[in-house]
Amino acid sequence: MEYGTLVRLSETAKIQAGIDNDGADVYGLIVNNIDMGRLLGLPESQPGHEVFIPGAGIEVFYNVDVEEVKMESRKTIAVSGGFDPVHVGHIRMIQEASVHGDVIVIANSDEWLLRKKGYVFMTFEERAEILSSVKGVKSVHMANDSDDTVCESLREIRPDAFANGGDRKNTNTPEMDLCNELEIEMMWNVGGGKIQSSSDLVANSKVKK
């Protein structure tokens, strides 16, 4: 087993380490692989490990006395949008998507915002900093959106699912065909219906001035 592998101790290992916890599982991390036979002066090689146990320090065990814990990997869920500016609807979409896996945000480029809206209210760097601080977000990517879609970004990232908010339907989502091709699950109405508009927020801020 590799350095840093999470393992569960057998009952024999717990007794050896002097751990009395009423049958509850005890975990540790592999810090070194050793030859227990050589360590104990035995004629035959016996695989073993040095294991760090929180609260107990480092103990040595035979390989049969520790069991590797397979960590279940979470799905990756991609969401996309201009996010200019980020509003409560975006946050709700990300939060709901994060229930299903680690969220990868694909934020449209400043060039895309200029083509679509004629202005950039917040630069990509500003939007990315805010979005990356939202709980559940694993990473933020600038969209490769020269064709006005995030197809190329989805092709590069290959998420398990592509989550869409309440304003996206199977009639206005150009990424559908690519997702079907790459077997990326389509998720709809994530975060509920459209409750705010970035464009309206910017327009209203100008009116109030």
pLDDT tens by residue, 24-49:
899 999 999 999 989 889 999 999 99
Has this prediction a pTM greater than 0.75? no
Same domain for 60 and 82, yes or no, is no
- The CATH number of whichever domain residue 98 belongs to comes to 3.40.50.620
Each residue's pLDDT tens digit, 126-137: 999 999 999 889
Average pLDDT, the chain: 90
**Is residue 9 scored above 90 in pLDDT?**
yes
Q: Is 204 part of a structural domain of the chain?
A: no
Assigned domain for 202 exists:
no
Residue 192 CA: distances (Å) to CA of 75, 148, 188, 207:
21, 24, 9, 28
Q: What is the pLDDT of residues 80-106, one digit of tens each?
A: 999 999 999 999 999 999 989 999 999
Q: How remote is the C-alpha of 37 from its chain's centroid?
A: 42
Q: State whether 49 and 81 are in the same domain.
A: no
Q: What is the C-alpha to C-alpha distance for residues 50 and 62, in angstroms, rounded to an integer?
A: 9
Q: What is the pLDDT of residue 22?
A: 79
- Are 52 and 86 found together in one domain? no
Q: Domain check: are 61 and 141 in the same one?
A: no
Percent of the chain past pLDDT 90, that is, above it, reads 73
